[in-house]
């Protein structure tokens, strides 16, 4: 969870932050390799679609500890696999993507 309110100007106008100042982590991109000119990218993505938990994912740690309405998936070139939130938190992130929470 990311709260940006302490970093925003109090006079910034509410139109920019209609949905609030709280964001949830929705994806993490990793770069594997020695340099930026070459290598491989993979991503962890938080899935909230579908409404059903994957059949392989029974441990509670695979789901969001706050809302328990989704699960993390590691995406590679040829496969996608359900993973734990601990795996996502222990990765060396290259880019983080956040989604604004609804007000």
The pTM of the full predicted model, rounded to 2 decimals, is: 0.72
* Residues 6+ positions from 80 with CB-CB distance below 8 Å: 73, 74
Tell whether the model's pLDDT for residue 42 goes beyond 70: yes
Q: pLDDT grade, residue 62 (50/70/90)?
A: very low
Triad 23, 26, 30: Cα angle to 5°: 125
């Amino acid at each position: 969870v990311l709260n940006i309110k302490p970093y925003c100007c109090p006079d910034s106008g509410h139109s920019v932050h209609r949905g609030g100042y709280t964001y949830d982590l929705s994806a993490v991109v990793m770069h594997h390799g020695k340099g930026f000119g070459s290598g491989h990218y993979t991503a962890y993505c938080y899935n909230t679609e579908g409404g059903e938990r994957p059949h392989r994912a029974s441990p509670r740690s695979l789901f969001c500890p706050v809302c328990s309405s989704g699960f993390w998936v590691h995406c590679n070139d040829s496969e996608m696999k359900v993973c734990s939130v601990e795996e996502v938190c222990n990765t060396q992130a290259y880019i983080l993507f956040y989604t604004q929470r609804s007000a």
